[in-house]
Structure 1
Amino acid sequence: MTTKPLILVTNDDGITAPGIRTLIHVMKTIGDVIVVAPDSPQSGMGHAITINDTLYCDPVTLEPDATHKEYTCSGTPADCVKLANQQIVPRKPDICVSGINHGSNSSINVIYSGTMSAAVEAGVEGIPAIGFSLLDYSHEADFEPSKKYVEKITRQVLENGLPKGIVLNVNIPKLPAGEIKGIKICRQAKAQWVEDFDKRTNPMGRDYYWLTGEFVNQDKGEDTDEWALSKGFVSVVPVQFDLTAHHFIQELNEWDQ
């Protein structure tokens, strides 16, 4: 590229989360950065968009002497990407990066993830996109070991591009830098949450429910994101947002119509 790439940065943990602050600092070593991120945590929002309420998007300065622009959005991660592309960025971004999420978005978590939905929305709009997640839910998570891999994968996508309709889901193990073994290209593990609702009663006598659950991985394959992460590798899964079950179309056409 003859000019610096324009990089759109977003997340689902909110614009002040340590993960996105780390991501911004890495991206500023690569290109020109514009941040449009939620003004409050939006984890688990999936691909929700705001259609029955007003949206606000305001410029903010969170770092002294910042050389990039930042905006807080009152909506969801997908809203942030839509609004950024329609109203904020001066031209189509060369890449959109989302994260670094506080917690895993491997396996089935990808469909619930606001982090990945922001990346998917960028992909829908024709922008190469990556969602980054660290397997540490703590607000005090150490993102330092992630920087090397975030930068490397971002530069590779900028250099090589991504096929239309595909974005990358990158998960990073919670390990010291010296213990991360490298990068594995993977498939999404076939795993699920076995969930339950804990029924409780508030002081006013009204019943309410608290979602609980256990993550169960029944996939024993050694080519999955869960396997790679358990072995100390960064997992990279190419994700497509065409949900058509192409292999079932012929059989479905054979049903009596």
Structure 2
Amino acid sequence: MSKQTKPTILVVNDDGVTAPGIKALMGVMKELGRVVVVAPDSPQSGMGHAITIGKPLRLDKVNVYEGIEAYACSGTPVDCVKLAVNTILKGKKPDLCVSGINHGLNNSINVLYSGTMSAAVEGGIEKIPSIGFSLDDYTMQADFSHCLKWVKQLAQQVLKNGLPLGTVLNVNFPSGNGIKGIKICRQADAKWAEEFEQRIDPYKRPYYWSSGVFELNETGEDTDCWALANGYASVVPVQFDMTAHHAIPLLNSWEF
């Protein structure tokens, strides 16, 4: 990328092309380069790294943001990245892919379920420096203003320095004003303890409503959960090589 050329920034999400979070993210990215928005035409939270197979994908240009090239996709967040790279940008990789800002946290184990982070991971698979952003506020009235300066600084650093190959950033912001700063963290050991409440529909057939609590299994002060609980934005470098390298010696000791 030459100094005279503005970087191309792909903006995606999982909450939908008109969600307040993507509007806030796009507003910051406009200050840094040429923005192309490709996002689902309806909410796709919790889709993980799902892709659409066996049915057509639709991609419609939409005029929802003045002066911004934006598209609504009928598929998943990962579909959005694939279509953006292969169809809209015609194989020319953007300089940065940013996903979010998600309505709700994607810390700890949530990274595996997150459509927001899966879009960022897909960017990383395409060797595009990528960041996923999330805020601890699930409402559509969420106020993103207090985290935008940190969004901009992180995007600027990635544009300037790049990221290690095979790595993307998972960034989470606490709610409310007064973020103390940024903590580079590891993913906390936590999980959802699900409960499934059985109910009966009008046709007397059972159905299940998922709920549960988020269980933190450690007290380490170097984790994303600790950072968020103490007023910091957490930044976790995430890799998508899921090989458990430490387990290979053990498996090699088995007799086959």
TM norm structure 1: 0.97
Q: Distance in 2 between matches of 1:115 and 1:242?
A: 18
Structure 1 counterpart of 2:13: 11
Q: Distance in 2 between matches of 1:95 and 1:31?
A: 10
Structure 1 counterpart of 2:185: 186
Decide whether the 8 Å contact of 1:101 with 1:132 is kept in 2.
Answer: yes
Structure 1 counterpart of 2:31: 29
Structure 2 counterpart of 1:210: 209
Instruction: Kindly provide the CA deviation profile for residues 90-135 of structure 1, in whole angstroms up to 9, marking residues without a partner as x.
Output: 5210000000000000000000000000000010011000000000
Q: Distance in 1 between matches of 2:147 and 2:68?
A: 21
Verify: 1:146 aligned to 2:154, yes or no: no
Structure 1 counterpart of 2:223: 224
Q: Which runs of 5+ in 1 are unaligned?
A: none
In the TM superposition, residue 89 of structure 1 has moved relative to its aligned partner by 1.5
AA paired with 2:153? K
Q: Distance in 1 between matches of 2:87 and 2:189?
A: 38
Decide whether the 8 Å contact of 2:196 with 2:210 is kept in 1.
Answer: yes
SS of the residue corresponding to residue 97 of structure 1 reads: strand
Structure 1 counterpart of 2:233: 234
Question: Which deviates more, 149-158 or 82-91?
Answer: 82-91
Decide whether the 8 Å contact of 1:189 with 1:226 is kept in 2.
Answer: yes
- 1:1-257 superposed matches below 5 A: 1-2=2-3, 3-63=5-65, 66-89=66-89, 91-176=92-177, 179-257=178-256
SS of the residue corresponding to residue 221 of structure 2 reads: coil
Q: Which runs of 5+ in 2 are unaligned?
A: none
SS of the residue corresponding to residue 159 of structure 2 reads: helix
AA paired with 1:256? E
Q: Distance in 1 between matches of 2:34 and 2:161?
A: 19
SS of the residue corresponding to residue 109 of structure 2 reads: helix
Decide whether the 8 Å contact of 1:34 with 1:89 is kept in 2.
Answer: no
SS of the residue corresponding to residue 249 of structure 1 reads: helix
Q: Distance in 2 between matches of 1:61 and 1:79?
A: 20
In the TM superposition, residue 175 of structure 1 has moved relative to its aligned partner by 1.6
TM norm structure 2: 0.98
Q: Provide the aligned C-alpha RMSD in A.
A: 0.7
Decide whether the 8 Å contact of 2:147 with 2:179 is kept in 1.
Answer: no
SS of the residue corresponding to residue 48 of structure 2 reads: coil
In the TM superposition, residue 67 of structure 1 has moved relative to its aligned partner by 2.2
SS of the residue corresponding to residue 151 of structure 1 reads: helix
AA paired with 1:186? C
Instruction: Kindly provide the CA deviation profile for residues 3-39 of structure 1, in whole angstroms up to 9, marking residues without a partner as x.
Output: 1110000000000100000001000000000000000
AA paired with 2:108? S
AA paired with 1:120? V
Q: Distance in 1 between matches of 2:57 and 2:201?
A: 33
Q: Distance in 1 between matches of 2:56 and 2:196?
A: 32
Q: Distance in 1 between matches of 2:200 and 2:137?
A: 31
Q: Distance in 1 between matches of 2:126 and 2:219?
A: 35
In the TM superposition, residue 194 of structure 1 has moved relative to its aligned partner by 0.3
Count of matched residue pairs:
253
AA paired with 1:168? L
SS of the residue corresponding to residue 67 of structure 2 reads: coil
Q: Distance in 1 between matches of 2:195 and 2:230?
A: 29
